[in-house]
Every structure is written in C-alpha cells, then in structure tokens.
C-alpha cells in the first residue's frame, strides 16, 4: 500500500467510525458507544455493511430483552450484551457470506 493509499484508507475509516458512532447513538441512546478502537476492529474484520447489520441485529435483541425473557436472560440488555451480540451477528453474517461465495 502506498502512502497515498494508506492516507485515503485512514480517511475513509475515520468517516466510517463517525457514521457508526452516530448509528450507535441512534440505536442505543442509553449506552455509551464502545469507542473508536472497537469500531475499527469491527471494520477491519467485517467491513462497514456487516458492522451495520450486527448493530441492527443487536437492536432486535434489546427490544426482545426489554419485553420478555430471551435465552435465559431476564431484563434489559447491557452495553456489554449489545457489543457481544453485535459481534456474534457480524461473525455469523460474514461466515454466511463466505459460504455463499464458496
């Protein structure tokens, strides 16, 4: 990667982190966002669209947990639950996409 390509990559990732921060604040206003590092890990591992997918999947979990017991967990989700569920959803989405390409 040339220095110019690296700078473009960094600039794009900064914009994606900003967008994901806004999305997090919209979906989970009750929780502090997990931070730039977590967003970068997700972006480097899964890509922007898959991260958005995972965050939306975690919102569904939060809604279920707010209304009933899910998977043996009673009560509302925590910020840690959101991060873990989003990560798991991203991993599954990526694996499903990889399987479809194979």
Chain-centroid distance of CA 59 in Å reads: 10
pTM, to two decimals: 0.88
Helix (H) or strand (E) holding 75: none
Domain extent, residue 38, equals: 3-101
User: What burial letters (b/e) apply to 68-94, b meaning 16+ CB within 10 Å?
Assistant: eeeeeeeeebeeebbbebbbebbeebb
Question: Does 70 have pLDDT greater than 60?
Answer: no
C-alpha closest to that of 51 among 29, 68, 72, 34: 34
Q: How confident is residue 90, by pLDDT bands cut at 50, 70 and 90?
A: very high
% of the chain with per-residue pLDDT over 70: 94
Number of structural domains, the chain? 1
% of the chain with per-residue pLDDT over 90: 75
Both tokens assigned to 77 = 């989700």
- Look-up of token digits 């700078």: 7
- pLDDT at residue 87, rounded to an integer: 97
């Amino acid at each position: 990667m040339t220095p110019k390509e690296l700078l473009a990559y960094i600039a794009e990732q900064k914009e994606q982190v900003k967008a994901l921060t806004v999305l997090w604040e919209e979906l989970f206003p009750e929780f502090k966002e997990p931070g730039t590092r977590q967003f970068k890990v997700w972006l480097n591992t899964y890509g922007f669209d898959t991260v958005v997918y995972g965050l939306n999947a975690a919102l569904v979990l939060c809604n279920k947990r707010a209304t009933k017991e899910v998977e043996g967990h009673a009560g509302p989700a925590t910020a840690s639950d959101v991060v873990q569920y989003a990560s798991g959803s991203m991993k599954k989405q990526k694996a499903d996409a990889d399987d479809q390409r194979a």
